[in-house]
Amino acid sequence: MKRADRNNPIFCLLLPPVFWLGVWQLCALLVDRSMGGRGNELLLPYPATVLAALTHLAGTGEFWESVLLSLLRVLAGLVVGAGLGGLAAALTCAGAWVDRLLSPAIRVVRAAPVASFILLVLLWTGRDQVPVVIVALMVLPVVWDSLSQGIRATDAQWLELARAYRFSRWKTVRLIYLPGLRPHLSAALTTATGLAWKSGVAAEVLCLPSTALGTEIYQTKYYLEIPELFAWTGVAVALSLLLEHLLRRALARWGRRWSL
C-alpha cells in the first residue's frame, strides 16, 4: 500500500471501526460455534444482529423518548456539577479555611461508591431525579480538582500586572483567569462527560425511571434480549462520544474567541 493511501483521511477514519468490527465478528463466530449455534443470541451477538435490533428500536417512539430524557438528565447533571465544581474551586482557592472545610467533603464524594449514592439519593428524592443528582455529584469533584489546579497555576506576574493597572475583579477573571483555565476546563469536561454517562445510566438501571435508557438496558438484561442490550449500550456510548465532541468544539471556539 502506498504511503499516500495510508495517510488518506478517509482510510484513517474507517480503519479502526472496520478492524474492531472484524474482531467482533470473529469472536461472535467462535462463541456461536462453541455454543452450538446459540452464542449469537445468549452471549455475543453478531454486529449485523445488533444493527438489526437497533434499526427496529429506532423505529419506535419509545426509543427516542428514552434517549431524549436520558440525554436531558445527563446534560442537567453535567451543567449543575460543572457549575458547583467551578464555584467550589473558586471558594477553596480564595481562602485557606474554606479549603479546609470543603476539600475533605469533595474528596469523600469522589471516593465513595456510586451505588451507595444512588441508593441514598433514591431514599431522598424521586426516581426520575436520581440520575441528575448522581451525575452532578460525580462531575463536581472532577471539575473542582482540575479548575483548582488551573487557578493555583495562574502566573503571579499577570496578577501583579492586573493589580498595577487596577483591574476590577471581574476584569481580572475575564482577561487572566478564564483564558488560562480553558485547557483545564476542557480536560475536566472531557473526563466528566464519560463519567456522567456511566453514572447516569447506572443510576437509571438501579432506580428504574419510568422512561430512560438505563431502564431499557435493565429490561433487556432481565428478559435476556442480548442484541437489544448491545444496541442500547451502543446508543449510550455514541451519545457520550457525541456530547464529548460537541463540548470540545465549543471549548475550541471559546479559545479562538479569547485569542482574538
18 and 144 part of one domain? no
Domains in the chain: how many in total?
2
Q: pTM of this prediction?
A: 0.84
pLDDT, mean over the chain? 84
CATH number, domain with residue 68: 1.10.3720.10
Question: What integer pLDDT is reported at residue 53 of this predicted model?
Answer: 93
Lowest mean pLDDT segment, chosen from 33-37, 72-76, 189-193: 33-37
**Would you state the cell numbers that stand for residue 68, as one nine-digit string?**
431524549
Higher pLDDT, 212 or 5: 212
11 and 124 part of one domain? no
Lowest mean pLDDT segment, chosen from 65-74, 113-122, 156-165, 218-227: 156-165
Provide the 3-class DSSP secondary structure of residue 44.
coil
The mean pLDDT of 23-42, rounded to a whole number, is: 79
203 and 245 part of one domain? yes
pLDDT digits (tens, 9 = 90+) for 36-75: 766 567 788 889 999 999 999 999 999 999 999 999 999 9
35 and 51 part of one domain? no
Contact 73, 200 (CB under 8 A): yes
249 and 189 part of one domain? yes
Report how far residue 83's alpha carbon sits from residue 197's, in angstroms, rounded to the nearest whole number. 17
Residue 28 domain boundaries: 1-44
111 and 14 part of one domain? no
93 and 120 part of one domain? yes
Nearest Cα neighbor of 218 from 76, 32, 72, 66 is: 66
- Distance from chain centroid for Cα 197: 5
Question: What integer pLDDT is reported at residue 164 of this predicted model?
Answer: 75
**Would you state the cell numbers that stand for residue 149, as one nine-digit string?**
489546579
22 and 110 part of one domain? no
Contact 222, 214 (CB under 8 A): no
pLDDT digits (tens, 9 = 90+) for 209-251: 888 999 999 998 877 888 999 999 999 999 988 988 888 888 7
143 and 86 part of one domain? yes
* Measured torsion, CA atoms of residues 127, 133, 137, 143, in degrees rounded to the nearest 10: 140
Provide the 3-class DSSP secondary structure of residue 125.
coil
